[in-house]
Amino acid sequence: MKKKKFGGTITNWQIHTLSTKQEDIDNMYPGEGLQPLVMTGTVVEDKLGRWRPGYHMRSSFIKKIDRQKGEIETRNTIYKVEGKENADIFPDLGDAVLNIFY
């Protein structure tokens, strides 16, 4: 299995729940253990150079949320999250979050 990149630190983060069926995600990404969830938040630091500090971001599907460690693992990346959950400028947008592109 390929080691995931550390994407940096995100603050003011929010988890968005999608209506996508778990079965459909498992069929599209077999064996990856992804959930119908994505994260948005404000970039503190992006180790991969995709966003500048203060930019807003949206993740790929979430694989694992570790609130104790303050880490979120997505399909592509591992992020450190700071601050309170549900503190993004957006509430849980559900499927509408998929219309956000950067």
List, for residues 46-62, the tens digit of each pLDDT value: 989 999 999 999 999 99
Domain that holds residue 15: 5-99
Residues 6+ away with beta carbon under 8 Å from 36? 17, 18, 19, 20, 21, 22, 25, 61
Total count of domains within the chain = 1
**Amino acid 100: pLDDT:** 83
100 vs 28, which has greater pLDDT?
Answer: 28
Do strands 5-17 and 37-46 pair parallel, antiparallel, or not at all (unpaired)? antiparallel
The predicted-structure confidence for 23-46, as pLDDT tens digits, reads as follows 999 999 999 999 999 999 999 999
- 1 has a pLDDT exceeding 70: no
Task: Tell me which H or E stretch contains 78.
Answer: strand 77-82
Q: Please state whether the predicted TM-score (pTM) of the whole model is above 0.95.
A: no
Q: What is the mean pLDDT of residues 57-85?
A: 95
- 2 has a pLDDT exceeding 90: no
**Amino acid 49: pLDDT:** 92
